[in-house]
Structures are given as structure tokens and as C-alpha cells.
Chain A
Amino acid sequence: MSVDPVLSVRNLKVATAARRPAEILKGISFDIHPGETLCLVGESGSGKSVTSLVTMGLLPRGELEVTAGEARLNGEDIVAATPARTRALRGADMAMIFQEPMTALNPVLTIGLQMDEVFRAHRAMRAPDRKAAALEAFASVGLPSPARIHDSYPHQLSGGQRQRVMIAMALALKPKLLIADEPTTALDVTTQKQILELIRRLQEEQNTAVLFITHDMGVVVDIADRVCVMRNGEIVETGEVEKVLSAPRQQYTRDLLAAVPALTPRPARAPHSQDRVLELIEVNKVFSLQSAISRLLGREGHSVHAVNNVSFRLERGRTLGIVGESGSGKSTVARCVLRLEDPSSGAILVNGHDIAPLQGQRALAEARRAVQMIFQDPNRSLNPRLRIGESLIEGPMNAGEARVAALARAGDLLEVVRLPRDSLDRYPHQFSGGQRQRIAIARALMMSPDVIVADEAVSALDVSVQAQVLDLLAEVQQRQNLAVLFITHDLRVAAQICDDVMVMRRGEVVEFGPAGDILARPQHDYTRALIEAAPGRDWDFAQGRRIPEPA
């Protein structure tokens, strides 16, 4: 390419500013040209976000520092620039959008005021001109009724709208470089698809260079021109996206691609048991948001029908996936099954007994044994102050098992989840996220449950770790003949592990049936939209080729 790169990073090294510095970036180099999208892809701790912070001049002072190398924006070294100069460049020549649009916007200022700041800081414009420019920027990112958005507060907008506002603010001054750090990770798939299309379109209009940071290979397929695979602060492989994905040169890239679950459902397993362990009959959950005072005055309250007439059955040894976007009520169903919430009506049969009317830990003791849970965030689901052993034996000891016997069993189960037996005496912070999720699985198994509810149990994990945890889950399911209720937003994961799939939207079941039927031949429009929005759906990661469009 003959054009000069917009951003040119050369041999960039970043280390922690501690007494014994640890290298976070070990000398990385890359270029981005105008109109090009470069994806930095890697697992957590690979240094991809630090790269973007260096470029924006946002490294946390006193914690991380650049030790060598340069990052040239249009030929100007940002690493050596004065704070005043980087401030001027930020917004005007380079801009950034973040993962969580709610925290990136100030909740107490209107959107218009925050947009206005962008123009005031960088351009000598009069107030009416600034407002006109703001409205134009909102219109350009496809926000409905820009005037209303202008006067809204961040909490009045949806997640997708907030991210559009962030993009409008980032691109308002037509910067040469846009840095997007996991901009769609916190969004639903259908919203993600729209945002990715928007970034693509604006990039083409303005010929912006985009540095896109993600951990999601599917997103890479959809948006990248070129890709840099990062690991432990180094770029292990770089190249055109099709080349890297179809013929990876490095073993690490191959492993990463192999870990991406395929969107085509796995072959169906034959049902081998008619033993129904869990059945929901017309379960409803209504959250009533009524204050005590308005209840006293008999005033009508505001209520949310989070779960609307949900029924399903689950047999021993089977996996049922509940799929849906945020707010679909899938987690509320799980919390009702676990009796962390009280269902408003309906029956929840565990091994044939209705647990919906039971109250109090003593009455629920048998249900607690039979139904166990694995949580989304393994960093929060283990008490950081308790040794692993104590966490594991808590349930059995509540059920009256002797301490010594429970500890012996805990040691055995740690070996089942492939952790050393002496982990019993360690604290949670001494383990990685994937290891902690194994411990959480062991804790659930300690109760010898019949059903395991896994609420987004792998979505906080890196893909390679995710694959290991899913394999482990499949293994213990086989070994103990467990039923698994798997709640996920990720259709790829659902396709690989579920026998049956239930699609939910706004508290209602949209579609329910065998995974193969639902994912391969969706009947409902919403299911179809979900599948179409799955990132990278036209790429076969296992084969390393584009999936031909069905005629």
C-alpha cells in the first residue's frame, strides 16, 4: 500500500511501574491504513486493551509505563507528546469507544450537553451551530428523532442507543483513527449486528482507520480486514483476515480457532431415560414495583411480567438450553427453579414434587440437594475469605454429613474436575477463572444433584477455557447422569451442548424443541433473527473456509 499509515506502532513495550516491573507488552509493531479495520484479537491478559490505552495516551499513571518504542499517529509520536498535545489529538484526530456505554457516559448530564463538550473542546463554534452539528451527528448514526435524544439522559436510552451515541461522539470531528475496545461485548447479538454494520458504514463514508479490539472470533470475521493475534503481550500472528483464519501458521491461532464452537448443531443424542427430574407447568413471575405508600393508598402499581406461562420438562441425562437476549426472562426462570425467587403462579416439579409452595430452608432442603447451580462469574461465586475446602463442604455439612467424610469426598471431586487435591487448603484468588469455574462445578457435585442449572456459566471465560469447561460439564453429566438446564445468550455454545432448546423473548417462550430442528430450521421470526445476528455465521472455523450461502 502506497498511502502512509494512520497509526504506526513500532516495537512498543509497556511494563508495570512496580519495583519489579513485569512486561505487559513485549515489543509489538503494526500499521493501520486509512479506511482499514485492524482487529487485535486475544484472550484476557494478552495486552490488547493496553495497546489501545497507549495509543489514546490513557495509560494509568504510576501503574503502567511505556519503556520503549513509539506509536505514530500521522507521523507524530504519541508516546513522546505532551499531555496538552494528546488532549488536542484525542477527539479530533483519534477517538475511542468503550465496552460499557453506560459507564462511559455521565449519568447526570443530558446526551446533548456531553455531545456539546466535544465541539466546545476542539472547535470554535457558536452554540446554535454546535447544536445543529450534534443533531446531524445523531442522525448519522441512525438514532431515531435526534432532537429527543439530544435532551435525554443516558438511562433513558437502551444499550444499543447509548453505544450509537458513543459512536456519534467519537466520530463527530471526523477523526482519522477510531479505537473500539470490545464495543459490542455488552450488547445483545441483534444489537451487536446493527452496531457492527454502523461502524462499517461510517468507516467507508469517512475513510476512518479502525483499531478494533475483541476476543470474539465471530466478530473478527464480520468486521476485520486484517487481524493481529495477541498472546502474553506479543503479536503471534498477523495478516489478512481470510488468510489467518483459513491457513493459520501458529499453533496458538489454530487452538484459538478450534475452540470456537460451531453454529451447526451437533448430532442429536438418543434419549435413554424417561425419568423426568424437572418439570415446569405454567410458571409466571410478576415483579410488582409498587411502593408501600401507594399500596396503602390503593394506587395502581407498575408491574413487570418477567416470566409468562413457561412450561417445559427435562429428563435425566439431557441438556435443555434456554436462549434469549437480556430481559428475556431466562435468568428469572432459572432463579425460580432454584427458588431464589418465588414464582407468582405455576408448579415446579422436582422429581415429581412441587417445590413452588415450599418456604424456608428446612422445607426446601431436598430441593436444594436435587437442584444445584453454576454461576456466570467464577470470581464472585466463591467466598474469597474461605478456603476451597470450606466452600466445598458447606452444603454437605448443612445436610448433616460429617466434616471428615465431606472433606474426603471434596478431595475426590477436585480430582474429578482435574484440580490437585491440595487445592482444598487454598483460597479462591490463587486460581484462574477457569479453575474457579471447575471448583464451582465440584461444589455443585458435592450435593449429588439431579439437575444442574448453569446460568451463562462459560460466558465470562476465554474461548479456550470455555471449551475445557464445557467438556468437563459434558463429562460429569455423563458420569452422574445429570440433567442440565443451560442458560445462555450464545447460540454457538447452545448448538454444541444442548439436546433441546427453548427460545425466550420478553418473558415468553417463542419456540421449544430439539436443538437440531430449532437451530437448523427455525420456525419463528425471532429465532431466525437471533441466528442471523450470530457473529461470524458465514465462516466455518473448524474447516477454515467461508460457508457457501444457501441458494
Chain B
Amino acid sequence: MSLTTSAPESPRRRLMDAPPHWTTVLASVVLIAIVLMALFAPVIANFEPTSLNAMKRLKPADATYWMGTDSYGRDLFSRVVYGARVSLMVGAGVALGSIVIGLPLGLLAGWFRGLDAVLMRMMDGLMAIPGILLAIAIVALTNAGLTTVVIAIMLPEIPQVVRLVRSRVLATRSETFVDAAVLLGTAPLRLIWRHLLPSTLAPLIVQGTYIYAAAILTEAALSFLGVGIGTETPSWGNIMAEGRLYFAMNPWLVFWPAIVLSLCILSINLLGDALRDRLDPKMKGRSA
């Protein structure tokens, strides 16, 4: 008996065949550069990001101060380099945190119909509050530290993850192999783990990249509004917030962090798109 060979390939194979698009390669290079920059910030930065120098306020870019200096005479390049640490950590914290909390809730809501009604109404309630307002309220009520900011940005993202996972579970549970597993006596939690969880992972990884990018933006927005992390810890957001006051004199105080932030977000989103195309064969060939 011969086995068919023309069947579709396994997902892992699909991820690796065909060379990636050039935008994907470029996005990875940019992102790796930013991550390396954050990791080796003390080596790369030529000044302490917090060291003041009253003599060198608002200098334009030159050979020493690669991006110029801010209103306190701090080196802007060093501050942007250190700012990458906060931004990347906030992004990672929010993405991982919302998945760790949202994934199990979504799986349970998708399988146990009784729980679903209660849980999803709670999620609806959470979604009804504008994310950034909720974050401002949480930060205002507590001390603005990295952890608080991460939690504040993470909370509004959780319903998105729950809804995504739940919808995947609802789609998968109508497959007859799930009925088959019930008939084989598989207990509910084991069934969820074995048969439902795997199909949620691909879209979840993709969603994770978007949450990552959105969290960096929200953190910047919070810092910009002055409710984020204090300026003694530089982040791209609070660098821009400070630079705004001197925008007329030296717009590059805002432009430099904004450029790096945009490149970072763009790269993450492009990688997310590429990942989605690879993991979802139906999207193949539709986007560049």
C-alpha cells in the first residue's frame, strides 16, 4: 500500500521553505540592532544618560554629542540608547503577561460554556474602558514604576487575547477529532491541552508581536503625558515629552527618539505580518 506524497506539508516545514521577503530581512536586522543596543547600552553610550552638563545645553549634533544634548545638557544619543531598555522591557512584559493570563482564560471560556457567559461579560466590561485612561488611573493611584506601568498597559490587552483564543477554540471544537477525543474518554483539561491549545498558538504568537509594538507605543504615550516612568530613567516617551518644550529651538530632541521608536514598531509589525503569512497558508501571496 503506497502512501500519498502530494499531501500538504507540516506547519514546521512551511515556516522554513521559500526565502523570506526583503522587508522581513530588513526588519529583523533593524530589530536585532535595537535589541543589541539595549543589551550593550553601557558600552555603546558615550555618556551616562543622567549626567548633567549646564555648559552644554541644547547643543546640535556634533562629533561628541552624536544626537546633540537636551535642556539639561544630557547626551541625547546615550539617553535614546538607554531608553531602548525600558521600551523593550515594557513590550516584552506586556506581551508575555497578557498571553500568560489571557491564554488559559480563553481556553476555559471556549470549552466550558457556562464559564464563557460570565468570563466574556467581564472581558466586555474591561474593554469598555479606554485603555489609556485605565492605565493613567492605575499609574496615578500607585507609584509609577516599571512594574506598575507594565500592569497598567497589560490589563486592557488581556480581553483581546482572551477573545482571540476563545474564537480559535470555538472553531476547533467543531472538528470531529474533538468529538472523537471525548468518546475516547479524554478528560476536559487534558483534551484542551492536547487538542485545542495547539491550534491557538500560531495566531497567538502573531497577536503577541502586535501587542508588543502597541505596548511600546502606549508606554511612550504615558511617559509623554507625564504619568509614565520618571525622567531619571530615560524612555523614548519621556525623552520626547521633555524635548517637546524645546521643539521650536531644536526639533531633533523629538525627532531622534521618534525615528528610533518608529523603526522599532515598524520592524516588529513587519515581522508579525511575515509570521502570520507563514503560519496561515490562506494568507499566502496576498500581502507583500
Query: Which of A62, A292, A362, A398 is close to B184, meaning CB atoms less than 8 Å apart?
Result: A398
Is A427 an interface residue, CB under 8 A from the partner? yes
Q: Which of A205-213, A219-227, A374-382, A472-480 contacts B (4 or more CB under 8 A)?
A: A374-382
* Contact yes or no, A443 B180, CB < 8 A: yes
Tier of interface size on chain A: 35 or more
* Contact yes or no, A394 B186, CB < 8 A: yes
* Contact yes or no, A420 B1, CB < 8 A: yes
Chain B residues, CB < 8 A from A362: 187
Is A46 an interface residue, CB under 8 A from the partner? no
* Contact yes or no, B184 A394, CB < 8 A: yes
* Contact yes or no, B198 A365, CB < 8 A: no
What string of 1s and 0s marks CB contacts (under 8 Å) between B218-237 and chain A?
A: 00000000000000000000
What string of 1s and 0s marks CB contacts (under 8 Å) between B81-124 and chain A?
A: 00000000000000000000000000000000000010000000
What string of 1s and 0s marks CB contacts (under 8 Å) between A388-418 and chain B?
A: 0000001100110000000000000000001
A429 and B7 in contact, given A375-B179, A418-B1 (Cβ under 8 angstroms): yes
How far does the alpha carbon of A420 sit from the alpha carbon of B182 in the complex, in Å? 27
* Contact yes or no, B186 A372, CB < 8 A: no
* Contact yes or no, B179 A340, CB < 8 A: yes
Shortest CB-to-CB span from B121 to chain A, Å, is 12
Closest chain A residue to B178, Cβ basis? A383
* Contact yes or no, B180 A375, CB < 8 A: yes
Is B175 an interface residue, CB under 8 A from the partner? yes
Chain A residues, CB < 8 A from B5: 430
Closest chain A residue to B198, Cβ basis? A385
Chain B residues, CB < 8 A from A394: 181, 184, 186, 194
How far does the alpha carbon of A406 sit from the alpha carbon of B83 in the complex, in Å? 56
Is B188 an interface residue, CB under 8 A from the partner? yes
A398 and B185 in contact, given A432-B4, A435-B1 (Cβ under 8 angstroms): yes
* Contact yes or no, B177 A380, CB < 8 A: yes
A340 and B182 in contact, given A361-B187, A380-B177, A381-B176 (Cβ under 8 angstroms): yes
Query: Which of B8, B177, B182 is close to A383, meaning CB atoms less than 8 Å apart?
Result: B177
Closest chain A residue to B187, Cβ basis? A361
Shortest CB-to-CB span from B18 to chain A, Å, is 11
How far does the alpha carbon of A381 sit from the alpha carbon of B180 in the complex, in Å? 7
How far does the alpha carbon of A205 sit from the alpha carbon of B64 in the complex, in Å? 92
How far does the alpha carbon of A483 sit from the alpha carbon of B116 in the complex, in Å? 39
Shortest CB-to-CB span from A296 to chain B, Å, is 13
* Contact yes or no, B8 A368, CB < 8 A: no
Is A97 an interface residue, CB under 8 A from the partner? no
Interface of A is mostly: loop
Query: Which of B4, B176, B177, B195 is close to A430, meaning CB atoms less than 8 Å apart?
Result: B4
Shortest CB-to-CB span from A111 to chain B, Å, is 29
Is A431 an interface residue, CB under 8 A from the partner? yes
Chain A residues, CB < 8 A from B185: 361, 364-365, 368-369, 395, 398-399
How far does the alpha carbon of A398 sit from the alpha carbon of B184 in the complex, in Å? 7
Chain A residues, CB < 8 A from B195: 383
How far does the alpha carbon of A432 sit from the alpha carbon of B5 in the complex, in Å? 9
How far does the alpha carbon of A273 sit from the alpha carbon of B195 in the complex, in Å? 39
How far does the alpha carbon of A373 sit from the alpha carbon of B184 in the complex, in Å? 9
How far does the alpha carbon of A365 sit from the alpha carbon of B182 in the complex, in Å? 10
* Contact yes or no, B183 A373, CB < 8 A: yes
How far does the alpha carbon of A62 sit from the alpha carbon of B180 in the complex, in Å? 38
Chain A residues, CB < 8 A from B4: 430-432
* Contact yes or no, B177 A381, CB < 8 A: yes
* Contact yes or no, A398 B186, CB < 8 A: yes
A427 and B10 in contact, given A380-B176, A394-B181 (Cβ under 8 angstroms): yes
Q: Which of B151-196 contact A (CB under 8 A)?
A: 175-177, 179-188, 190, 194-195
Is A419 an interface residue, CB under 8 A from the partner? yes
A361 and B186 in contact, given A340-B179, A375-B176, A381-B177 (Cβ under 8 angstroms): yes
Closest chain A residue to B179, Cβ basis? A340
Is A105 an interface residue, CB under 8 A from the partner? no
A sample of 22 cross-chain residue pairs with beta-carbon separation below 8 angstroms, ordered by A number, consists of A62-B285, A361-B182, A368-B184, A372-B183, A373-B183, A381-B176, A381-B180, A382-B177, A383-B181, A383-B195, A385-B198, A394-B184, A395-B184, A419-B1, A427-B10, A429-B7, A430-B4, A430-B5, A431-B7, A432-B4, A443-B184, A447-B184
Binding site for B on A (CB under 8 A): 22, 62, 292, 338, 340, 361-362, 364-365, 368-369, 371-373, 375-377, 380-386, 394-395, 398-399, 418-420, 423, 426-427, 429-432, 435, 440, 443, 447
Known interface pairs A340-B183, A364-B185, A427-B10; 18 further A-B residue pairs with C-beta atoms within 8 A, sorted by A's residue number: A338-B183, A340-B179, A361-B182, A368-B184, A373-B179, A375-B179, A380-B175, A380-B176, A381-B176, A381-B177, A381-B179, A383-B177, A394-B181, A394-B186, A398-B190, A419-B1, A420-B1, A426-B3
Task: Kindly list the 10 A-B residue pairs having the minimum CB-CB distance in the complex, ordered from nearest.
Answer: A395-B184, A429-B7, A368-B185, A398-B185, A381-B176, A383-B177, A375-B176, A380-B176, A394-B184, A385-B198
